[in-house]
Amino acid sequence: MEVIELARDKMGKTIASLQRELSTLRAGRANASVLDRVLVDYYGTPTPINQMANISSPEPRMLMISLWDASMIPAVEKAIQKSDLGINPSNDGKIIRLIFPEPSEERRKELVKTVRKKGEEAKVAVRSIRRDANEQIKKLQKDSVITEDDRKGYEEDVQTLTDEKIKEIDKILSEKEKEIMEV
């Protein structure tokens, strides 16, 4: 049914968005996606670092940024320092290195709280999509497009879909929490 497929699509997008947000959280391991939100003024245009450089991770706690335009090194360093990453970049004139310190126990607990908050927001979004789908199904019954038995069946399908997506969110959250708390 179209209403259920639309709900499935929206719930999938909610989960994809959650995964993107969680990938930007720094969990102690060097991950290039933490730079996704850092914009550099590239000749008057705010540009993500990954569109101006190759980013590699030669070691678990280090990122190397190899810019295509070496004259942008000071601007990129300044953008990284202004960001909320809490990392000081160093460069050798060609490559910028970011060393990720081991997060403290306190910082890890803060990150876990943030992960849980984002997870709860995703669950609320999924439940909201369920509510919208159920309202559309009730409207179809009211307009005599479907029968009451059909409505009940469709609502059960929407609930099953919702339960699957909530389980998927819980799995994503527990994996991220495990990654954060890993020493």
Q: What is the mean pLDDT of residues 120-142?
A: 94
What local confidence, expressed as pLDDT, does residue 27 receive? 64
The pLDDT tens digits for 137-175 are: 999 999 989 999 999 999 999 999 999 999 999 999 998
Q: Give the orientation angle of helix 105-142 with respect to helix 2-23, to 10 degrees.
A: 170
Are both 52 and 89 inside the same structural domain?
A: yes
3-class DSSP state of 46: strand
Q: Each residue of 20-32: pLDDT tens digit?
A: 888 777 666 677 8
- Can you give the CATH number for the domain in which 39 is found? 3.30.1360.40
91 and 122 fall within a common domain? no
